[in-house]
Structure 1
């Protein structure tokens, strides 16, 4: 028995010794597929492994396997990443013991690809290198608008190529906005987008003018004013008024190119606000002003005779130029904040400062308004007109329209000036550089300017539904401030000698008086001859007719505001207006500076195809000699 047991143990031990040797000889690994193919987008596939031993999967770096090892039969998941290059081929190996099984794998590639499609160069012009992978020869096409960028190499053969794009040095302020390069390959193409940031310094810091910090009882329709800023790069600057009533947690804003604006909505009554201004240049660089606080009033009516500042000057000139707006035919209830009078002023101011050169020089002006109660709305009209019958009205300044076929208008000029002299900073001397706009509360096509030799004026502007804005530009901007003369021609005759003498007399006090009119007829002597050879001013010439007559008098351009009330002053008229702005503000007029800022060099309608607008002439200005 003992021998039997001993022999059995020997046999069992021998069998254990034989097992490893038998497994090694029998290692086997097979797979369900011998080849796998992916599209260029990649994705997952499964593979069945049949084995009788432990195994490990080895994949190329663009394929992952889960699980990557095991024992016996199993299913593995293979995931291929997206292929951004050319077609790729490789082998997956499954090894275990003495067994080895291989699966061929491949993935479709691209015909063409670039490692970068959008190139935004920094202001220093740092080159950018990227890689092109292509099955075809390729060429980069650079259009004229992108000639500031170069490519190296500009073309290549099939395969993988590194390309460097380099921007040329920036020598001016021309924006290098997004534009496109074309890469041609095979029978197709693709686009590369290029742009470059400008070297850019932010504009100066705005200085707030009004309302003052801590101001009380501020009008709910207050106009905010601040200083004009300069940009060190010479870029155009715009502004954003920011206003908050919750201590700066939230801000409302209004964008403008001017240095004054109202908030888009009426402010709340009896409310604390803070405000500031942001200056932004054409390339997005910005600066912020200080922050100020103010408190609005109760929003009640202006008192009779109350003076309000609509806009403060901010140009930094030695003196402000005063413009004063008052109304006639407005009764007490029209003087509520934001009411009929405020709306009329806003329309008139907008009309004046929408026609060059006034917008460019707006920050030289201090604009004041005066509330003057009339007993009745309207104006006295002596004869029936198309929009209003003959009537008599009791108004503060006795505004009177001749009516009928006449556009003539008059008022009590002395009373107007007596109110104007109440404006802070006003004097008899300052009044001679001041234009007063009398806004007459009647819907009628009419208007006249009372012009004084000394320089003061009253521009009477009835509020015709379609003529209010033109009358402000013609009577106020043209006659009143610009000291321009009419270019109408309704007397088919030569300019009389007495009118020639009158023109010469007035020019003795102001050489720029009637600067849009010439009586020499000599191209070498006419005072706008300096435009004849200046590029951009081809519309300036000598056109016979003006100052109410068809002969013996000349105007500089075919059409302008002083002819048919259009929103356009001819070049010599713009020059005269700017000359008066400089003189009245205590600065010296410089022709080169004027030209550099002149935004409209010719009428939008050319000399060849101008279109005359149909407009009934306003009455000639009332010429008052207060110097004798």
Structure 2
């Protein structure tokens, strides 16, 4: 499966460098007089950059007065971005890999005075797959993935690109390496084994720039092909008699009742009549109450199951590319774990529950697929009013007994949805949280009471979970101030090294448990509990988790998404 190729950049060694130069006789940069800038690069030639994130090119630059820079595309970064008179080495960096499937360019503008010096930056390396999605029947068969690349071929010991799979054991190679069809076109020859399961299954093939760093995989992926194989339950629905029927799974015995509506997408009529749909929903409810504190507060919830009959199990591929299923669910490609559906249709099905208040409802949508995806959507109105309405989308990851299925369900539904918790993990490709995102998150913390498990200070006296840091009753819970949260490596802080909102292990930490407890009491009893009330509850019921349930962290997901509403829900 791995095709060994290499790329040899020609740097025009031995060529005498000419000079880009720009002069301006008007005052500029605060120093007045003539402005002269020059860059050592062959005149009239574009500056090349390789395709992967982190690729770098340097330019020697001279200015005789103050200067600044600007770039026309967000995939390019230049350092330094400004300076005074003198000689500089500009570092051009790729901050997003070229996954466009085509050549891409950007313009670097060096500005001093009124006449900028403009230089074209070009990425000629790319890989383009013939199709981004391949649908395979349940019985399997042979499959060829064709792709085109501008990257030169190399040797087995010195490849310049490769093809990797996400490790599905139901796909085998028909050839040991990609086969070259012509000068720039190749194909990967595969055999897809029969799918004996009910649900569809999904895997990806990644086309990456070498040398490849597995710890920073996203930096090197230039193209992705997704393979979706139908399950034994695939086909088309013939009867919609069961569609829209509501089954009451649980009635509250404490408080006023918090509505939770669970439904599935991509299930056929036969999945409902056979009892499989009910089996999936029952298992989901069982998983829902497996982590503290919600495990001790199940009596506050009214739980309803809405039966949804899909015409088929064909989910959409790509963000907001609605599928052919009843709820139009879609899944993002590549390493992205994003998933969603037609929110308005989901609301209509939730309203099958008589008298339900959508603004106070948590909805769970389970996709009949084994893909590793998960996204929760929280809602607020244009007037700045938050809504308790939330939709958590995720597939049956692996199978019904899979620990990943349980953990993702809890992370998305309980953590993001009910607790309004932020993610506590970070990606190395997100080095520093931007100031505008920090400001927006802080505003929602203050106005909505969301995201109270993260903060933006390392001051023990000021951080949101400060009371726990100085309470001896919490000395053994590993609490502190750890940099890295909200998917960023720096600028945001979390309270523990590991947690359910980080690697989906070790349960919810104390700040998260407090947020969950407060939100359930607010919605269930209409009051705000005190800190000491929560601590009394927590001390009586909390049992420190061990690693036996989730020995290894699972892959992180994209951050929770917020949706602004310009009209009431369900209308």
- Report the TM-score when normalising by structure 2: 0.51
- After superposition, the C-alpha distances for 1:19-71 in whole angstroms (9 at most, x for unaligned) are xxxxxxxxxxxxxxxxxxxxxxxxxxxxxxxxxxxxxxxxxxxxxxxxxxxxx
**What corresponds to 2:492 in structure 1?**
553
**Conservation of the 8 A alpha-carbon contact between 1:376 and 1:393:** no
1:398 and 2:328 correspond: yes
CA gap of 1:612–1:503, structure 2 versus 1, over 3 A, is farther
The structure with higher relative contact order (CA 8 Å, sep 6+) is 2
1:450 and 2:377 correspond: yes
Query: Which of 490, 493, 497 is equivalent to 2:435?
Result: 497
Which residues of structure 1 form unaligned runs of 5+? 1-299, 384-390
Which residues of structure 2 form unaligned runs of 5+? 1-238, 381-386
**What corresponds to 1:344 in structure 2?**
280
1:324 and 2:261 correspond: yes
Q: What's the CA shift for 1:325?
A: 0.1
Query: Which of 445, 448, 467 is equivalent to 1:507?
Result: 445
Q: What's the CA shift for 1:620?
A: 1.8
Q: What's the CA shift for 1:564?
A: 0.8
**What corresponds to 2:520 in structure 1?**
581
Query: Which of 393, 399, 411 is equivalent to 1:460?
Result: 393
Equivalent residues in 2 for 1:56-205, closer than 5 Å: none
Cα separation, 1, equivalents of 2:313 and 2:526? 42
Query: Which of 528, 535, 538 is equivalent to 2:472?
Result: 535
**What corresponds to 1:600 in structure 2?**
542
1:572 and 2:505 correspond: no
Cα separation, 1, equivalents of 2:544 and 2:488? 24
Cα separation, 1, equivalents of 2:287 and 2:332? 25
Rg comparison, structure with higher value: 1
**RMSD between superposed Cα atoms in Å:** 2.7
Query: Which of 540, 551, 554 is equivalent to 1:615?
Result: 554
> Once structures 1 and 2 are overlaid, which stretch shifts more, 301-310 or 457-466?
301-310
Cα separation, 2, equivalents of 1:302 and 1:528? 51
**Conservation of the 8 A alpha-carbon contact between 2:483 and 2:494:** yes
**What corresponds to 2:349 in structure 1?**
419
Which portions of structure 1, spanning 4 or more consecutive aligned residues, are displaced by more than 4 angstroms?
Answer: none
**Conservation of the 8 A alpha-carbon contact between 2:505 and 2:553:** no
Cα separation, 2, equivalents of 1:516 and 1:392? 33
Q: What's the CA shift for 1:492?
A: 4.7
SS at match of 1:489: coil
Cα separation, 2, equivalents of 1:540 and 1:357? 17
Cα separation, 2, equivalents of 1:547 and 1:600? 26
**Conservation of the 8 A alpha-carbon contact between 2:310 and 2:325:** yes
Query: Which of 345, 348, 357 is equivalent to 2:293?
Result: 357
1:487 and 2:424 correspond: yes
CA gap of 1:419–1:564, structure 2 versus 1, over 3 A, is same
- After superposition, the C-alpha distances for 1:571-596 in whole angstroms (9 at most, x for unaligned) are 11011011110111134323333222
CA gap of 1:500–1:600, structure 2 versus 1, over 3 A, is same
SS at match of 2:505: coil
Query: Which of 287, 292, 314 is equivalent to 2:253?
Result: 314
- Report the TM-score when normalising by structure 1: 0.47
Query: Which of 294, 302, 307 is equivalent to 1:366?
Result: 302
SS at match of 1:516: coil
Cα separation, 1, equivalents of 2:499 and 2:443? 25
Cα separation, 1, equivalents of 2:343 and 2:264? 13
Q: What's the CA shift for 1:597?
A: 2.5
Cα separation, 1, equivalents of 2:552 and 2:565? 36
SS at match of 1:407: coil
Cα separation, 1, equivalents of 2:407 and 2:441? 25
Q: What's the CA shift for 1:422?
A: 2.8
Cα separation, 2, equivalents of 1:358 and 1:392? 33
Q: What's the CA shift for 1:340?
A: 1.5
1:475 and 2:433 correspond: no
Q: What's the CA shift for 1:302?
A: 7.3
Q: What's the CA shift for 1:495?
A: 1.4
Q: What's the CA shift for 1:550?
A: 1.2
- After superposition, the C-alpha distances for 1:354-408 in whole angstroms (9 at most, x for unaligned) are 111111000000000101110113533459xxxxxxx995201111011221111
CA gap of 1:605–1:377, structure 2 versus 1, over 3 A, is closer
**What corresponds to 1:334 in structure 2?**
271
